[in-house]
Amino acid sequence: MKRNYDTALKASVTLDDAGNIRGINYLDEYYEIKKLKGSAAARAYVRNIATKLNIAPESTISLDQPVSYTNPERRGVEYHLSEQKTFFDSTTYAYYQTYLNTPVWSAGITITIKHDPARIISVTNTSERGINAKMPSAEDINRYLRLFATGEKFDGTRSEPETEQYQTNANIGSEQLSDILGEAVQALRVENEQNTTPRLIRGRFFVYRYDSERRVVDRSTPEPDQYKPGTTVGLDEPSDGHPSLPLPPVAESIQDGNWYFVAELIFRLPYEGGPMNWRMLVDVETNTILYLRSLDSGVNGLVFTYDPITSTGDTANTPDRSNAVLNPLRDDVVLENLDAPVAGTQSLQGTWAIISEIETPNVTSPTRPVGSDFDYDVRTNEFAAVNAYYHTDRFFQLVADLGFPLTGPGSYFDGTTFPVRVDHRGLGNAINAHCPGDGDGIDHTCYALADANDTTNPISIAADWRVVLHELGGHGILHDHVNSANFGFAHSAGDSFAMILNDFASEWHNGAALDRFFFLPFVPSIVRRSDRAVVDGWGWGGANDIGSYSSEQILSTTMFRAYRSIGGDSTLFSRREFAARYMAYLMLRAVGILTPLSNPNSPAQFLDALLAADVGNWTSEGIFGGA
């Protein structure tokens, strides 16, 4: 991707290698739509700019019609309304590109408009060309529609899992899913010596261009020693890479680069003894799997508000220390938003979070009598549960405090069901955490250990605010806005949130001898940094810009520099706190502009989203025109 200034548009444009416009930013002079507002202004702009984007004008006739995922018809390329999202003083309208009256995978246009008067801020264009997918037979289409009807979600509603009809439908759907997965289910059953049954969450139709190299992975991840100096270890994924399944071979009729009419199936299928959610795209005519990804990624209590190294400046306060060392470093905080006690017993269940048993080992959440505090030693599962509740609630309160509505239509987390389930002790004895999605939003989060040396007296990674920020600020928000755990060009912005929202309060600013740029000082086995140098290959397009955690370090280095430039290096705590809050707001708003059809595949496209977010007004804070 490259960026130019287009004198005709009076805007900065992002171009792909073929010279097609993939992004427009009206930063110097907004494009005003006179006498129109809202969706009418968005439609008028799309029709006006269509030829500039190599879009046939006749394909924009149906912009006001909602996209359909279950009603294929013999129609050519069109654009239909997918969603609209309003935050503060701007609204983003997303239009899926469709073919056969079915959305084209990750393709379309988004328009972000500043209100009163309607002015275009930014545009993204991920439209495809040469689409020629074949319409399947009515028999094949109906077969998959019957499968869709067995899912937990169908036609935008969630089924009631306790009903007899749901169980009957779920069993029927599981049989069809097992037939599609074939060898994968059989292999898991042999490996786990149990009846591994897939369960459908949701099904929809798409048009998809098959890419054999991306059937099970997006971009190759190098071996750890390629990250020298130091070793990069992944957080929220298995140590041997992303989860995957043994897939049947593709049918002989499937050709690389050709277009196919597919079913997107979001389903549950256990993996390595724990729950896992998956997304696969299946050719409707041949039942061939063309794409597969895991969707991984009143009362007081004692917690670590910040990790013991960040909060004290003492690098000796590591997770392998005893309760005698770590207990004095706990903070006494209010556990907010808890539900009322039931029969005299207080549980860790509230508005935004509920401690739940999801993944092995099976560890029950603590409860307390009414009026009693949740006070536990650091090296206990109970302390893990209190921290998991506190930090999860803390994250959602932060998003709300920054001005974003959490619930309701068009809210920031309109695809997530609250309270979010949180497993405070899962993933065996690994040093890890993850945040799986369910195709629309957050499914749950799960936290393992911060130290694997003493599992009899465990200390949880949920006690580290940085880790929770990586999971929810990185993957949680992406699940809701782009229906994926990751950006197209990097793992997530989770490290950026973690670094910035901890640095402003770090004892480094008071002279402590800390490594300011280390991602997780309390969990030193996970080596990622936010001071990577361009001359060492850590620039966009450099040797280490290869996606996943490597490119995430380039992103976090970039975001951390921006934070420092607007006050993060100040000697005043209040100035650093403002800089941290502003950067968190900016990244949240930028991701809020994104949709499944505009998930950035390059840093230039995410820059467009950040610039569009920055020119908006932070109305809840009374800040206008960006930083």
Q: Which residue's structure tokens are 């599962």?
A: 381
For the entire predicted model, the pTM comes to: 0.90
72, 103 Cβ separation under 8 angstroms: no
395, 472 Cβ separation under 8 angstroms: yes
384, 426 Cβ separation under 8 angstroms: no
- List for the chain the helix, strand, coil content (%; round to 5): 30, 20, 45
Kindly report, residue by residue over 299-322, the tens digit of the pLDDT.
789 999 999 999 999 999 999 999
320, 308 Cβ separation under 8 angstroms: no
- CA–CA dist 475, 413 (Å, integer): 12
Which residues are within 8 A (CB) of 190 and not within 5 positions of it... i.e. 6 or more apart? none
Which residues are within 8 A (CB) of 441 and not within 5 positions of it... i.e. 6 or more apart? 413, 414, 415, 416, 417, 479, 480
Which pLDDT belongs to residue 227?
Answer: 29
Instruction: Identify the residue with better confidence: 244 or 277.
Output: 277
Length of the chain counted residue by residue: 627
- Structure-block tokens of residue 157: 């509603």
Residue 143 sits at φ, ψ, to 5 deg, of -60, -40
Residue 161 has pLDDT above 70, yes or no: no
Which pLDDT belongs to residue 166?
Answer: 62
DSSP strands (E only) in 370-501: 420-423, 433-434, 444-447
Geometric angle at alpha carbon 549, from 544 and 552, rounded to 5°: 80
Q: Quick one: pLDDT band at residue 232, thresholds 50, 70, 90? A: very low
Least confident segment among 40-44, 58-62, 109-113, 157-161: 157-161
Residue 605 has pLDDT above 90, yes or no: yes
419, 349 Cβ separation under 8 angstroms: yes
